[in-house]
Amino acid sequence: MTLFTTDDCMLCAQLKKQFDLSAMDVRVEVLGNNDAGALAHLAWHGLVERARKALPILVLDDSSALHEFGHIQSQLLDRAVRFGVAAQHQNKQAGCESGSCALQ
């Protein structure tokens, strides 16, 4: 499972704060920091155009992808339970009014 993020994405930061992603065997790929490997991995999944519209994107083990924050959060909550990893409770979803939650 891979979570594609950017450094200045509020939604991405919320997920990284809420979950111990490494303990859940979720790989985090940060886009936009000159990491050609992360961009190539995103392209391999055919998600570059989608990432230009919105991040985060969660690619599941079956290579399907979740784009909506609520669905991503729900999937990660389920995974945290399966892995026996505590997740921090989040009362509200962060916003992306700045438009930074996308691949620039």
pTM: 0.91
What is the pLDDT at residue 98?
Answer: 60
Residue-wise pLDDT for 16-63, tens only, equals: 999 999 999 999 999 986 789 999 999 999 999 999 999 999 999 999
CATH superfamily for 2-83 is Glutaredoxin (3.40.30.10)
Confidence at 99, pLDDT banded by 50, 70, 90: low
Query: Six-digit token pair at 23?
Result: 């303990």
Q: How far apart are CA 22 and CA 36, in angstroms?
A: 21
Confidence at 5, pLDDT banded by 50, 70, 90: very high
Closest CA to 103 of 51, 34, 40, 42: 51
What is the pLDDT at residue 91?
Answer: 60
Label residues 15-29 b or e (16+ Cβ within 10 Å = b): bbebbebeebebeeb
Q: Domain residues of the chain, as ranges?
A: 2-83
